[in-house]
Amino acid sequence: MILQEALYEGNHFDLRVYLESKSDTKDEIEQLKKRAEKGAFRCPYCDETLIVKSGDIREEHFAHRHSKSCEVNCSCFYY
């Protein structure tokens, strides 16, 4: 499961929707990574701090800083 949602300053934040609205996504991703390192993004399911990951194979996504996933907590959100 690739996590693309987070809580940013208490609001729902969708990474894909956000980047689609930007022309320079590479620059945006760098900005998001810096914000994430300061703890700006939180998991909407387990409230853990999230980091931004991007690579050639996988599209940009959020990852938990400590645990690998919170699928146990998330399960009720995916029927």
How distant, in Å, are the alpha carbons of 1, 19, 49, 56, 59 from that of 70? 10, 24, 12, 24, 20
Nearer to Zn ion, 19 or 43 (CB): 43
For residue 12, the minimal CB distance to Zn ion (Å) is 14
Nearest CB to Zn ion, comparing residues 2 and 27: 2
d(CA 79, CA 77): 6
Residues at the site binding Zn ion, with contacts judged by CB under 5 A: 43, 45-46, 70
Compare residues 28 and 48 and give the one whose CB is closer to Zn ion: 48
